[in-house]
Amino acid sequence: MLILAATPIGQAADASRRLAEVLASADVVAAEDTRRLKRLAAELGVEVGGRIVSYFEGNEERRTPELAAMLVEGQTVVLVTDAGMPSVSDPGYRLVVAAIEADVAVTAIPGPSAVLTALAVSGLPVDRFCFEGFLPRKSGERMRALTELVAERRTMVFFESPHRTEVSLRAMAEVLGEDRSAAVCRELTKTYEEVARGGLGELVEWAAGQEQGVRGEVTIVVGGAPSDSRTYAPEDLRELVAARQSDGLSRKDAIEQVAGETGTRRKDVYDAAHS
């Protein structure tokens, strides 16, 4: 059996009893960081009984077949990452697929989640949401990814590294609007937990005002697009595309951006632009 085990995102005391039990009894424990695993086990007063192997982004592709073979042999493999649930923006997806293809049982030990914790404390609607993970590092790709989300009605959750938080917030403010409600959740459940709430423009100022820069683990929650029942006439769409092209966008990118901004089907914008 493959067991995906959620680990604490901050406080070791948040670990479940089941996590301690499987760490002690599993044949193999695959860890994103073996040192962190040993430190967590010590804090839980648990001695890992089985073999410990590393399983991180750099060796995930190579190690997956090895772990899959152990599963086929009948061994129980527990997969843990540095924090939260394995495979959610962390190593694990490849191993889950390999286990399923080998007809090996896959289960999970639920636990702390930065996504759900950030949603809960953000103060933004949580009835419908989507998880977008990390934005692209390159500026152009990041802007295109955000443009695709302009008309997204659901609350959006992003992970971000501390040194790119201000850059990402600036991009969000530019594409989604400075007044779009959002929350930056930093160091969730840890000693220096902080949740900064406000419009994206305000949060850019907050990030820029951090003397030592934004620090710690960061989760950004952004409100969805406001409901807009407006129907755009073809001539309006054509003018919007032309305006984006005059700003330097290619026709293709201009069509994509207008479709996202107006919530109009891309085909309708394309037809209007070429009419």
- DSSP letter, residue 84: B
- Please answer whether residues 172 and 136 qualify as being in contact, where contact means their C-beta atoms are separated by less than 8 angstroms: no
**Residue 265 buriedness (CB in 10 A; 0-12 / 13-18 / 19+):** exposed
Residue 247: per-residue pLDDT: 87
The position carrying tokens 């840890």 is: 190
Collapsing DSSP states into helix, strand and coil, what is residue 230?
coil
Collapsing DSSP states into helix, strand and coil, what is residue 41?
helix
Residue 230: per-residue pLDDT: 61
Residue 236: per-residue pLDDT: 86
- Which residues does residue 53 pair with via DSSP β-bridges, in sequence order? 30
Q: What does the pLDDT profile of the chain (275 residues) look like in tens digits?
A: 999 999 999 999 999 999 999 999 999 999 999 999 999 999 999 999 899 999 999 999 999 999 999 999 999 999 999 999 999 888 999 999 999 999 999 999 999 999 999 999 999 999 999 999 999 999 999 999 998 898 899 999 999 999 999 999 999 999 999 999 999 999 999 999 999 999 999 999 999 999 888 999 999 999 998 876 466 788 889 999 998 899 888 998 888 888 877 767 788 889 999 98
What is the torsional sign of CA 5, 9, 12, 13? negative
Given strand 218-222, what is the order of strands in its sheet?
129-134, 155-160, 218-222, 181-186, 194-199
The tokens describing 98, both together, are 């390999």
Cα–Cα distance measured from residue 9 to residue 200, given in angstroms and rounded to the nearest whole number: 25
Residue 228: per-residue pLDDT: 60
Residue 233: per-residue pLDDT: 85
The tokens describing 249, both together, are 């966008």
Residue 229: per-residue pLDDT: 47
